[in-house]
C-alpha cells in the first residue's frame, strides 16, 4: 500500500479533522470544525493520504507542561485516528514515528496524550504519567469531619466574568502542580468555558461558580446538572467539568458548595485530584466512590533535554534507558545535579515507556521494580532512583484534549 504522509494545507485542515471523527464513527458539528481548526496550526497536523483522501491523522497542540521544578514544552497529541478501511496496515505506527521526529525537531522534549484505548500507546513509548481519579459520590452522604462550619462565599458568574476571574486562579495552581497544562486566552474561550449544546450530553447548561475566601478569589467550579426525577423524587446528577482551589481550606469550601446543590442524587467528576484532601476530610470516604484510571500519558521524546529541564532532589543515579522506536534516547544517562550521557556503570535499567511513569512522579522506581518494569543493576540503585524522582504531590492533569 503506497500512501503519502504530509501535512494538510489550510484548506484541507477541516477534511483531516472530519477523518479523525469518522475513525471514531462520529461526525463533527460545524462549530466544532470552526473551533478546533481555528486553534490548530496545519503544520502540526500529519495525515496519511490515499490519493487525495486522508485515511489517517495525528496532530499536536503546543503546550507548556508543569514538571517538577518548572515547566517544559510538550506536544499535546490529539486528532489521532485511522479509517477502518486502512487499519492494521502500519499506518498508525508510521504516523506516530513521523510525529515524534517532528516533535523532536521542534525542540519539544515531551509528548503527552489522553488515550482512547489504553492498550495502544505503550508500543510507541508512552507511559501512564498522571493517573486520573474518578468520583461518583452519593450527595446525601457528604459530611465534613469535625465540621467548623462554612466560611467564605460562592457565587455564580457568567462566561465573560469567568474568562477574567478563573485563569489567574488556575495559574496559581498550575505553577505548583506537575501534569497541568498552559492555557491561552483562546483555549479558555473556545475550550474550557465554551458550552455548545451538543457537548452537554443530556445535561443542562454549563454553570460557573467562583469561591471567595478572606477577600480573595480562592477557587472555582465548572459544572452541569443532568435533571432526573423518579416517582416525584429528584435523582439528578451534578457533572463537574473542573473544580480547582488554591488551598485545602478553599478545597473544602468549594466542595461543600458543590455537594450542597439541590435536586441531585450523585456528584460526578472524571478528573478529581488524586491528592484530594477531601478523602480524609469527609466522615464517610467510601461513599465518595473514588476509582482510578490511566489519565495522562507521556512520552519522553528527548531524554537529554527532559532530564536537563527537570529538577531532582538527591544523589545522582545512572539509568540504562531502552527505546526501541527512538534509538537516540537509548543508553546510559546520569540523572541528578549534572544530567547527561555517561559511560559509568548503570544503577537501574528501565524502558522509556516506564521512565515516563516516573518522570512526573506518578510511580516510584520501587513500584516499577515490583511490577517488573525496572531492574536494579547496582545495590541500592532502585532506592536512590526513587528518592531522586520523588515529588511532594502526585501529578495531575484535570483536562483532556
Between the alpha carbon of residue 212 and those of residues 138, 308, 391, the distances in Å are 26, 39, 29
Residue tagged active-site, from 5, 21, 279, 401? 401
Is 257 considered catalytic here? no
Query: Rounded to an integer, what distance in angstroms lies between the CA atom of residue 383 and that of residue 351?
Result: 18
Between the alpha carbon of residue 218 and those of residues 30, 144, 249, 308, 384, the distances in Å are 36, 19, 9, 34, 38
Residue tagged active-site, from 121, 124, 142, 166? 121
Enter the C-alpha cell of residue 298.
507521556
Q: Could you give the residue ranges of the DSSP H alpha helices within 201-359?
A: 248-259, 278-281, 303-309, 352-359
Between the alpha carbon of residue 287 and those of residues 143, 153, 265, 267, 329, the distances in Å are 10, 26, 12, 11, 45
Query: Rounded to an integer, what distance in angstroms lies between the CA atom of residue 375 and that of residue 350?
Result: 7
Is 401 considered catalytic here? yes
* Among candidate residues 273, 274, 227, the one with its CA nearest the CA of residue 254: 273
Enter the C-alpha cell of residue 55.
485515511
* Interstrand relation of 264-272 and 229-230 (parallel, antiparallel or unpaired): unpaired
Query: Is there a contact between 285 and 141 (Cβ–Cβ < 8 Å)?
Result: no
Query: Rounded to an integer, what distance in angstroms lies between the CA atom of residue 337 and that of residue 312?
Result: 7
Q: How many CB atoms within 10 Å of residue 105?
A: 9
List the catalytic residues: 121, 401
Amino acid at each position: 500500500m503506497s500512501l503519502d504522509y504530509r501535512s494538510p494545507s489550510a484548506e484541507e485542515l477541516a477534511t483531516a479533522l472530519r477523518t479523525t471523527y469518522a475513525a471514531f464513527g462520529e461526525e463533527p458539528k460545524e462549530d466544532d470544525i470552526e473551533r478546533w481548526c481555528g486553534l490548530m496550526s496545519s503544520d502540526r497536523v500529519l495525515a496519511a493520504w490515499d490519493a487525495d483522501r486522508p485515511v489517517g491523522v495525528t496532530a499536536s497542540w503546543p503546550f507548556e507542561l508543569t514538571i517538577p521544578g518548572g515547566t517544559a514544552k510538550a506536544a499535546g497529541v490529539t486528532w489521532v485516528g485511522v479509517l477502518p478501511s486502512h487499519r492494521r496496515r502500519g499506518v498508525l505506527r508510521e504516523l506516530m514515528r513521523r510525529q515524534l521526529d517532528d516533535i523532536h525537531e521542534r525542540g519539544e522534549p515531551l509528548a503527552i496524550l489522553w488515550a482512547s484505548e489504553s492498550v495502544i500507546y505503550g508500543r510507541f513509548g508512552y507511559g501512564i504519567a498522571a493517573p486520573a481519579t474518578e468520583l461518583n459520590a452519593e450527595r446525601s452522604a457528604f459530611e465534613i469531619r469535625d465540621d467548623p462550619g462554612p466560611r467564605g462565599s460562592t457565587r455564580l458568574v457568567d462566561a465573560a466574568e469567568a474568562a477574567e476571574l478563573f485563569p489567574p486562579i488556575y495559574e496559581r495552581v498550575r505553577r505548583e502542580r506537575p501534569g497541568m497544562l498552559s492555557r491561552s486566552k483562546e483555549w479558555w474561550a473556545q475550550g474550557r468555558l465554551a458550552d455548545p449544546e451538543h457537548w452537554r450530553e443530556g445535561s443542562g447548561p454549563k454553570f460557573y461558580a467562583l469561591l471567595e475566601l478572606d477577600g480573595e478569589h480562592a477557587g472555582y467550579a465548572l459544572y452541569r446538572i443532568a435533571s432526573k426525577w423518579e416517582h416525584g423524587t429528584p435523582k439528578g446528577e451534578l457533572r463537574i467539568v473542573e473544580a480547582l482551589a488554591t488551598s485545602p481550606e478553599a478545597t473544602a469550601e468549594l466542595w461543600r458548595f458543590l455537594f450542597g446543590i439541590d435536586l441531585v442524587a450523585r456528584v460526578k467528576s472524571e478528573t478529581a485530584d488524586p491528592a484530594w484532601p477531601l478523602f480524609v476530610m469527609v466522615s464517610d470516604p467510601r461513599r465518595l466512590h473514588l476509582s482510578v484510571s490511566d489519565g495522562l500519558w507521556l512520552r519522553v521524546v528527548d531524554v537529554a533535554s527532559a532530564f536537563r529541564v527537570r529538577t531532582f532532589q538527591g544523589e545522582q543515579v545512572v539509568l540504562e534507558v531502552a527505546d526501541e522506536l527512538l534509538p537516540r534516547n537509548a543508553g546510559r544517562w546520569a540523572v541528578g545535579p549534572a544530567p547527561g550521557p555517561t559511560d559509568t556503570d548503570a544503577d537501574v535499567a528501565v524502558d522509556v515507556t516506564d521512565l515516563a511513569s516516573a518522570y512526573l512522579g506518578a510511580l516510584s522506581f520501587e513500584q516499577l521494580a515490583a511490577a517488573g518494569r525496572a531492574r536494579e543493576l547496582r545495590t541500592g540503585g532502585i532506592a536512590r532512583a526513587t528518592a531522586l524522582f520523588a515529588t511532594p504531590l502526585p501529578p495531575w492533569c484535570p483536562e483532556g484534549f
